[in-house]
Amino acid sequence: MLIVSTKEFRNNQRKYFDLAEKKVLVRRGKKYINLFVTNEPDNNLTECKTLDELNNFLDSL
């Protein structure tokens, strides 16, 4: 398992998306975000089309 800060993730997104087949957690304050790879989208996931939507969603966690 690899835990990285949001700053580290933002600076090296490609690297961490490539590593997402292993367990990667992004730490944001006291919360953690799991990165994982699947062949099919999960119908329960929230789709964010803009960066603002993504930031709002992450803030709600």
| Domain limits for position 39 | 2-60
Q: What does residue 28 show for φ and ψ, rounded to 5 degrees?
A: -130, 100
Residue that is written with structure tokens 């975000």 in the block: 33
- Per the document, the length of the chain is 61
Instruction: Report the CATH number that the domain containing residue 7 is assigned in CATH.
Output: 3.40.1620
Res 59 pLDDT > 70: yes
Q: Rounded to an integer, what distance in angstroms lies between the CA atom of residue 45 and that of residue 61?
A: 13
Number of structural domains the chain divides into: 1
Contact 3, 25 (CB under 8 A): yes
Q: Which band of pLDDT confidence, cut at 50, 70 and 90, is reported for residue 11?
A: very high
* Listed residue (13, 3, 23, 1) closest to 51, CA to CA: 13
Q: Which band of pLDDT confidence, cut at 50, 70 and 90, is reported for residue 3?
A: confident
pTM across the whole model? 0.43
